[in-house]
Chains A and B, each alone.
Chain A
Amino acid sequence: DIQMTQSPSSLSASVGDRVTITCRASQGISNYLAWYQQKPGKVPKLLIYAASTLQSGVPSRFSGSGSGTDFTLTISSLQPEDVATYYCQKYNSAPQTFGGGTKVEIK
């Protein structure tokens, strides 16, 4: 089965900073990569699918890129409301494995 590895596991950045999270698949998954945001105590929310397509209603400061095995989620200007844990997920076929998550905090 394909494993999904995220890095870093946590990060602390200042408001306005550019933040980048990476996700690596152990085998190629084309662009079948999603990013979810989970705020504390809340349900995960789909941010990005097909590696770079923003879900409706998601702020444009979020962007995704990559294909094959290496992917990134970028927050261009970190805002206080972006404090959350972010998960990548491969969804092209079962099992739809999640990455371990990246916890984003404000410095």
Chain B
Amino acid sequence: QVQLQESGPGLVKPSQTLSLTCTVSGGSISSGDYYWSWIRQPPGKGLEWIGYIYYSGSTYYNPSLKSRVTISVDTSKNQFSLKLSSVTAADTAVYYCARGRDYGDYSDPADVWGQGTTVTVSS
């Protein structure tokens, strides 16, 4: 049973870079069968898709965040990471990592999610 766990600082100062890691257990991130996502949810608001990465390193980002987002994968540690630069209070949210199945020609939605980690942007 694969499990995902987010980790990283809970408090980030404005203009700095938010860095989070998602550790995958119970399965290999190197499997070519999945994509690995980041999703966030500001307090009291809805879900916002940030982006995803395949183990090969191919990435896809939300156009509204693309200039500030980097998602990377570390197969040796079975982890993938999120970096969001130049943060403001609007980036305060619960950040989730998630996994979806990829079939090549099509994919399934993310069906395994981490518990989420709260990141507050404040000085």
Contact = CB atoms under 8 A, between A and B. Distances in A.
Contact of B49 (A46, A96, A100): A96
Contacts of A34: 109
A36 B100 CA distance: 14
A91 B47 contact: no
A32 B110 CA distance: 12
Nearest to A91: B109
Given A46-B111, A94-B60, A87 B106 contact: no
B67 interface: no
Interface residues of B, number: 23
Query: Is the contact region of chain A dominated by helix, strand, or loop, or is it mixed?
Result: loop
Contacts of A44: 47, 96, 113
Contact of A89 (B51, B62, B109): B109
Interface residues on chain A, size class: 20 to 34
Contacts of B47: 36, 38, 44, 87, 89, 98, 101
Interface in B43-77: 46-49, 51-52, 60-63
Given A43-B96, A44-B113, A32 B106 contact: yes
A91 B46 contact: no
A97 B52 CA distance: 12
Interface of B: 37, 46-49, 51-52, 60-63, 96, 100, 106-111, 113-116
Interface of A: 1, 32, 34, 36, 38, 43-46, 49, 55, 85, 87, 89, 91-92, 94-101
The 8 A-B pairs at the shortest CB distance, nearest first, are namely: A94-B60, A34-B109, A91-B109, A98-B47, A101-B46, A96-B49, A46-B111, A43-B113
